[in-house]
Structure 1
Amino acid sequence: MALIKSISGIRGTIGGVPGQNLTPQDIVECTAAFGTWLLQKGNAPKVVIGRDARISGQMVRDLVLSTLTALGIDVIDLGLSTTPTVEMAVGFEGAGAGIIITASHNPKEWNALKFLNEKGEFISAADGAAVLDLISNGGIHYQSVDALGKVVAGGDFLQKHIQAIIDLPEVEVDLVRARCFKVVLDPVNSSGAITVPDLLEYLGCEVIVINGETNGQFAHNPEPLPEHLRDLSAAILEHHADLGIAVDPDVDRLALVCENGKAFGEEYTLVAVADYMLQQRPGNTVSNLSSSRALRDVTLKHGGQYFAAAVGEVNVVEKMKAVNAVIGGEGNGGIIVPELHYGRDALVGIALFLSWLAKFGGTTSALRATYPNYQMVKDKISLPEGLDMEAILHQLEQKYQHEEHSTIDGLKIDFPQSWLHLRKSNTEPIIRIYAEAPSLAEAEALVGKIKVEVLELIA
């Protein structure tokens, strides 16, 4: 069905034809290229690996583990784990790199390898290009029987991860425990089921888990969007819970649902947590260009500066480092707290949100009502074969040159009360169009207007 090799790793659908789908040959080829690149850098005494609970996870893990050890690389195998836990384990162990076996929010037929550097962060574009070059041009050399790598089980890294979160000064353990929150959790049959309850119970919450079997048979589309969380909303009302929590299969995205069963808003996870963090530690924030303006509003309220990065976690992290941001992330519910590690982490998001909710003293919906209620529309336009997308964006930039705009990732146009973002998809022949405005009608009108302008330029 699909195979995508990119600077951040490889992803695709399991089964099918090598080179067109994610098959054993493709998994071995890409793992071998990554391992060889690490050895060339002198940077791979050991590599940490971990996976989410999707059906193909064990099979992919076996191939990755065998390939690394065949290259003479030692492996620390975390088994069933989370993306942020693998990232932190690289640092805990002083490892040379990490590989996360997860297709994140993609459906169950997908899987992926995501590559981490020695800091436990996603590899840069330049490093990814070097790995792709090895895939294309070869140069792989496996070791003799006496030089094979060794495998060690991962130990208690999930507990270390949770403890590191609890130790953050902004996590108000006693305050949260005093509220005795009742929480419904939907970990969508994956790794969140073995991690999030431990954190919530430590914080004194009563936890009701739905879709808690770690079998990879996702009970619904695993992307934590409101339309996929109807069972969670119903369970919140049934149990008279204070809050609903949904995470994606690898636990780097966090979506919240209010006590009334209504979505807190995926874009507002980062907004609320940033609001809390900036009260404790004023400073700068970063999100990608397609994230809500509400983060900028909150940042300015606390006297900080807001900065936008190109779409993609590695780009957000680079910008956060450049501006010494206190917190950052993406509007998809991904929260990055540098004090913990430079990676999206739903677990730290949960602990900080509950700290804020406990301090706030009211309901989840009342907290949501304190933030601007922007409305976002996401759309796309199919592109004709061979179209010069850069030329189209340049013409639009000229048309809107008198508006505040950015070209670091497609074209982002900031109007006084709204914005538009157009960018070419990295995986499909389409232009992605995002708009945000104070009302849904205004956002839809912006998208409609720009679509007409783009189609006129294409014609």
Structure 2
Amino acid sequence: MTLIKSISGIRGTIGGPQKENLTPIDAVTYAAAYGTWVKEQRNKDNYRVVVGRDARISGEMIQQLVMNTLIGLGIDVIDLGLSTTPTVEVAVDLEHADGGIILTASHNPKQWNALKLLNNKGEFLNAAAGQRVLDIAEAGQISFAEVDALGKVSRNDAYFDLHIEEILNLDLVNVEAIKKAGFKVVVDGVNSTGGIAVPLLLEALGVQPVKLYCTPNGEFPHNPEPLKEHLTDLMEMVIKERADFGIVVDPDVDRLAFVDEKGEMFGEEYTLVAVADYVLRHTPGDTVSNMSSSRALRDVTQKHGRNYTASAVGEVNVVQQMKDTNAVIGGEGNGGIIYPELHYGRDSLVGIALFLSHLADERTSVSAMRAGYPSYYMSKKKIELTPDLDVDALLKAMEEAYASEEIKTIDGVKIDFAENWVHLRKSNTEPIIRIYTEAKSQEAADALADRFIAEIKEKSMQ
């Protein structure tokens, strides 16, 4: 179906022709290019790379291809097996490894998989490093190790526990208060590795987990993107179990959303807002999110007398902006929490622990907590791309059409109106144009998105 090569990794559908899909040959090609890049970074005798995967059906096949390619380059592999994106990131740091690869296509359906690439800090590659990997793959001049210099694989199954231990040791994770509160929480693990990691974390915090779709077999029971329209079963289960709230994560556990005790969405955008509110109460500092995230984070940050800044979309851009501003909390409005006290990566597990600490602190319900934040409503829509569509020209035309408004063009085109905003950008991970809008009501946000979709389609036919 498609193969998307970008600085953030290699993503594609399984099966089909080489170079058009994520075939075994493509997996080997880009694993070899990444391994070559790793060896370019430092001149030393031994290199180590951490590899883990989500539970999607193709994961074991792709992991074996990737690990054996790294071995062929003379790189030792630390095999985490079934893991999460943030767990691999934590492992790279704790192991003092030279890099890491997570085999996951995040929220994409089961036919997709991807190689997500990390540097020696357990952070995603920046633009220059990502481009270098692509250039190496394109050149195809890769030198493999001789027989006596082949790498070795060592298995480590301890990292869920080690990751959770790191979280429990954080100053702002109030384990005692959470245990005292006696929470009961429904967990939708979308039949991936969140079904392993999230219940383990909850049990360590003294929370009673009720498991829903927590069998890590890669058979996603619903669209794995954690949006309201996909979470009917979770909403019903929260009410049926009289739980305090519900948790849903995506297949690689770097996106986090909640359902309140009434079976209503807390709002994926408000995951970061609530966690940031808690962190800022205890740790004065600034915040960062990307340009497609809710204004609510800005409002909460300013309430605490601190500064908010917006980055281009993409975790690596958020992380860089956080480092530049020394932000104490940040992330993305899609439910991605980045808490630098643990590591610079989106991490649902630390997000859950901080949210539970906040809830225990407030001694309130999840619905009451949500009611205390500014009310904004977002619409997230998309336009499928066709080969003949000139996206850059379309975005330029939209920029010119709204030149009298406040416009940012560091990542697509964001148009800020007085009461709402729209952000138009080409996706890095799918062949689509994303249209994000935010307004004071869901109807207004949806109407604004539909208006811009119509305008884009009209301009594409001119």
Shorter-chain TM-score tier: over 0.9
The corresponding residue for 2:48 is: 46
Among 334, 340, 343, the residue aligned to 1:332: 334
Aligned to 2:251: 249
> 2:434 & 2:107 partners in 1: Cα distance?
19
1:363 to 365, 369, 385: 365
Amino acid of the residue matched to residue 29 of structure 2? Answer: E
Structure 1 range deviating more: 389-398 or 302-311: 389-398
> Partners in 2 of 1:117 and 1:209 — Cα distance?
34
* Aligned equivalents of 1:240, 1:430: Cα separation in 2: 39
Matches within 5 A, 1:187-226: 187-226=189-228
TM-score, normalisation: structure 2? 0.95
In structure 2, what is the Cα distance between the partners aligned to 1:230 and 1:267? 18
1:90-109 paired onto structure 2 within 5 Å: 90-109=92-111
- Structure 2 partner of 1:34: 34
Per the alignment, residue 79 of structure 1 pairs with: 81
Q: What's the CA shift for 1:4?
A: 1.4
The offset of 1:123, in angstroms, is 0.5
CA distance in 1, matches of 2:384, 2:217: 36
1:130 aligns with 2:127: no
Change in 2 beyond 3 A, CA 1:164/1:384: closer
Q: Structure 2 residue aligned with 1:310, among 300, 309, 312? A: 312
Deviation at 1:88, TM superposition (A): 0.7
Structure 1 stretches lacking a partner, 5+ long: none
Cα 1:59/1:456, change in 2 over 3 Å: closer
Deviations 1:89-141 (A, max 9, x none): 11101110001011111111111111100110000111111111111111111
Tell me, yes or no, if the aligned pair for 2:6 and 2:428 is still in contact at 8 Å. Answer: no
8 Å CA contact 2:14–2:22 kept in 1: the answer is yes
Question: Of 152, 155, 161, which residue of structure 2 is paired with 1:150?
Answer: 152
1:151-170 mapped onto 2 (5 Å cutoff)? 151-170=153-172
Post-superposition offset of 1:150: 1.2
Secondary structure of the 1:245 match is strand
Structure 2 vs 1, CA of residues 430 and 66 (structure 1 numbering), >3 Å: closer, same or farther? closer
- CA–CA separation in structure 2 for the residues paired with 1:5 and 1:263: 34
C-alpha distance 352-215 of structure 1, shift in aligned 2 (>3 A): same
Deviations 1:315-370 (A, max 9, x none): 11111111111111111111000111000000000000001111111111111111
* Alignment partners' CA distance in 2, 1:434 and 1:79: 35
Residue 62 of structure 2 aligns to a residue whose secondary structure is helix
Compare 387-396 and 323-332 and name the one that shifted more: 387-396
CA gap of 1:344–1:403, structure 2 versus 1, over 3 A, is same
TM-score, normalization: structure 1? 0.96
User: Alpha-carbon deviation of 1:416?
Assistant: 2.3
Unaligned runs of 5+ in 2: none
316-325 or 396-405: which moved more? 396-405
Distance 1:383 1:198 in 2: 41
Aligned residue runs from structure 1 range 258-273, under 5 A? 258-273=260-275
Q: Residues 24 and 138 of structure 1: is their aligned pair in 2 closer, same or farther, counting only changes over 3 Å?
A: same
Q: Deviations over 1:30-75 (max 9, x none)?
A: 1011111111222771001011111111111111111101110011
For 1:392 and 1:29, locate their aligned partners in 2 and report how far apart those are by CA, in whole Å. 34
Stretch of structure 1 that moved more, 109-118 or 413-422: 413-422
Secondary structure of the corresponding residue to residue 120 of structure 1: coil
Q: Mark the CA change 1:282 to 1:235 in structure 2 (over 3 Å): closer, same or farther.
A: same
Match of 1:289 in 2: 291
Determine the C-alpha separation between the residues in 2 that align with 1:218 and 1:382. 23
Amino acid at match of 2:13: T
Distance, in Å, in 2 between the alignment partners of 1:388 and 1:69 is 42
CA distance, structure 2, for counterparts of residue 362 and residue 189 of structure 1: 30
Structure 1 residues 428 and 228: alpha-carbon distance in aligned structure 2, compared to 1, 3 A threshold: closer
| 3-state SS of paired residue (1:325) | coil
Q: Offset at 1:389?
A: 4.0
Query: Which residue is equivalent to 1:13?
Result: 13
- Which residue is 1:2 aligned to? 2
Deviation at 1:402, TM superposition (A): 4.1
CA contact (8 A) 2:261 2:366 kept: yes
Structure 1 stretches of 4+ with a deviation exceeding 6 A read: none
CA–CA distance in structure 2, aligned partners of residues 389 and 108 of structure 1 = 28
Paired position in structure 1 for 2:60: 58
Equivalent position of 2:114 in the other structure: 112
Q: Root-mean-square deviation (CA), in Å?
A: 1.8
CA contact (8 A) 2:77 2:152 kept: yes
State how many pairs are aligned.
459
1:436 to 2:432 alignment: no
CA distance in 2 between partners of 1:315 and 1:193 (Å): 29
| SS of residue paired to 2:328 | strand
- Whole-angstrom distance in 1 between the partners of 2:51 and 2:270: 31
Task: Specify the alignment match of 2:452 in structure 1.
Answer: 450
Query: In structure 1, the residue corresponding to 2:415 is in which secondary structure?
Result: strand
In the TM superposition, what is the alpha-carbon distance from 1:425 to its structure 2 partner? 3.4
Quote the Cα distance in structure 1 between the aligned partners of 2:216 and 2:453.
Answer: 42
